[in-house]
Amino acid sequence: MNLKNTLIVLLLLFITISISAAYTPAPITTTVPTLSISQNTLNPTNSVVNGQIVAASRYRRPTPTLRPTPRPTIRPSPTPRPTPTVTPTPTPRPSPTPVPTPTPTLNPTYIVSPGTSTFKWSGITWNVRNGDTGSPGANTWSNNNVWVDNINRLHLKITNVNGKWYAAELDSANPTGYRTYTFDVAINPNNYAINTVAGLFYYLSDTNEIDFMEYSKWNDPHSSFNSQSTIWSSSGGKSDAGYMTNSGETILSGIYSSSSIEVKRNGVRTLYYTGTIPKLGGELAINLWLYGNTKPANGLEQELILNSVTYNPNTLSSGFNIANGVPVLIPGVHHGR
């Protein structure tokens, strides 16, 4: 390179340096357009790119269509359903404890109480004698002395009330007839006072009477017997000789027919009679009374107890065969009514 060119280069270099020292160019910046919306117009600012101002193009954004704010659909309030009435569940009442039906009795001690005038026992309706004084003997009769206990036994009693003695009797309400009468006696007649009489008999009149059994010593302390059977008819009285009964229970049967009368004690025949037969139409009777005096000889109350009385169709023995040792019929003394 020649000197001239060199000098030109150096001159240019000098000029360049001088210019650079005198002028400091502005820094290159980039401006982010700021949107300013006025009346729906977007005004962008200019930008500088590589030291040159670049005019931003103007443009209008289309005005957006405003959608009308939809009115909320007002649904009609539903008709409120009526609140169902809640019926309270009733508290169940406890079931009452059933009361057992008691066995119908007049009294825990009795089936038939003392003082009853008419009652049915052992299949027979009975009337109880009450309030009068007289035959047999001079006895006063009270229905308070007759009852049926709670095991269905019949009781007759001689009692002392305020110093006065009362006897007992009951009679069938309906007439009886030709039958076999059976008495289940539950006492020992040997324990009676000597003037006490317990009678089991059929009675129409004094001449139409069958004393199937009378338990008594007839007020005789030396008597050799305490029980006797007697038939009373228009031809008089006929009795067996009497027996000493020392048993606590006797089954006594009296067989009454149109042709004969028979008595058995515990199955053994003690009387057989074919004379004049007492007439029909009488009553079956049971009594307990005092003979020859107005009070028991021993001063104690007396009692007759029977388990049952029945009457059935006749079961007569065939023929007359008196057992050995059984006495024949002999005339007796009327101790009945």
Residue 224: is it exposed, middle or buried by C-beta count within 10 angstroms (0-12/13-18/19+)? exposed
Q: What is the largest CA-CA distance in the chain?
A: 219
* Minimum mean pLDDT range among 155-164, 274-283, 320-329: 320-329
- Quote the pLDDT of residue 108: 77
Whether 196 contacts 216, CB under 8 Å? yes
3-state SS record for 122-191: CCEEEEECCCCEECCCCEEECHHHEEEECCCCEEEEEEEECCEEEEEEEEECCCCCCCEEEEEECCCHHH
| pLDDT per residue as tens digits for the range 319-329 | 333 333 333 33
| Residue scoring higher pLDDT (329 or 163) | 163
Percent of the chain with pLDDT over 70: 66
Whether 197 contacts 296, CB under 8 Å? no
Map residue 60 onto helix, strand or coil: coil
How far is Cα 330 from Cα 333, in angstroms, rounded to an integer? Answer: 10
- Quote the pLDDT of residue 326: 35
- Does the structure show a pLDDT above 90 at 53? no
Whether 286 contacts 157, CB under 8 Å? no
Map residue 308 onto helix, strand or coil: strand
Q: Are strands 180-185 and 250-256 parallel, antiparallel or unpaired?
A: antiparallel
- Band (pLDDT 50/70/90 cuts) for residue 77 is low
What's the DSSP call for residue 287?
E
- Does the structure show a pLDDT above 80 at 187? yes
- Quote the pLDDT of residue 99: 60
181-213 in b/e burial notation, b at 16+ Cβ within 10 A? bbbbbebebeebbbbbbbbbbbbbeeebbbbbb
| Residue scoring higher pLDDT (321 or 196) | 196
| pLDDT per residue as tens digits for the range 83-129 | 656 666 667 676 767 666 555 444 679 999 999 999 999 999 999 99
User: What is the mean predicted confidence (pLDDT) over 296-316?
Assistant: 88
Can you read off the two tokens belonging to residue 172?
A: 């069938």
| Residue scoring higher pLDDT (301 or 69) | 301
What's the DSSP call for residue 242?
-
- Quote the pLDDT of residue 100: 61
Predicted model pTM? 0.64
Which ranges of the chain does DSSP label H, i.e. alpha helix?
3-22
User: What is the mean predicted confidence (pLDDT) over 166-176?
Assistant: 96
- Does the structure show a pLDDT above 80 at 161? yes
How far is Cα 212 from Cα 253, in angstroms, rounded to an integer? Answer: 8
